[in-house]
Copies of this chain bind each other. A is one copy, B any other.
């Protein structure tokens, strides 16, 4: 078994005659990955959607850790991510917007924004890998 704090491994395997893949890591259910027509059949996540899930969950994990360390009580927690694509190649994101929704009666938007800043600078590995290549905007919405 590999030490995931040091190395991570994944596999994708083509499963049709177009561009549909199963992707997986040991112990997890395969993820269906596909591209939009006409190249693919939209029968799975696109690569860039997986990137949004990667960034959202990485930031979400860092935020939950730090807010809990500050003794904040977090109820519901959700991140809606949206990425605007360039219309020329490479058709990557020109901008990513992350809307962070959390339920917390003892936390202010300013406190969450401070933790986001720490994540951006140091504690969110996926953000570190995207730095300088795409604008990332965050919005915080707190429900009590």
Give the interface of A toward B (CB within 8 A). Answer: 4-14, 19, 21, 23, 25, 27-29, 31-33, 35-36, 39-40, 42, 44-58, 60-61, 64-65, 74, 76-87, 89-93, 122-134
Copy count, this protein chain? 2
- What chain B residues lie within 8 Å of A79 (beta carbons)? 11-12
- What chain B residues lie within 8 Å of A29 (beta carbons)? 32
Q: What CA separation (Å) do A21 and B63 show in the bound complex?
A: 13
The residue that A57 contacts in the complex, of B33, B52, B90, with Cβ under 8 A, is B33
The residue that A12 contacts in the complex, of B13, B28, B78, B132, with Cβ under 8 A, is B78
- 27 residue pairs of the A-B complex, CB under 8 angstroms, read A4-B42, A5-B36, A5-B85, A5-B91, A7-B84, A8-B48, A8-B82, A8-B85, A9-B82, A9-B83, A10-B81, A12-B53, A14-B78, A21-B57, A23-B53, A23-B56, A23-B57, A28-B32, A40-B61, A47-B125, A48-B125, A50-B57, A89-B123, A90-B123, A90-B124, A129-B134, A132-B133
> What is the CB-to-nearest-CB distance from A64 to chain B, in angstroms, rounded to a whole number?
5
* Residue of A39, A56, A57, A92 with most partner-chain B CB within 10 A: A57
Q: What CA separation (Å) do A27 and B87 show in the bound complex?
A: 24
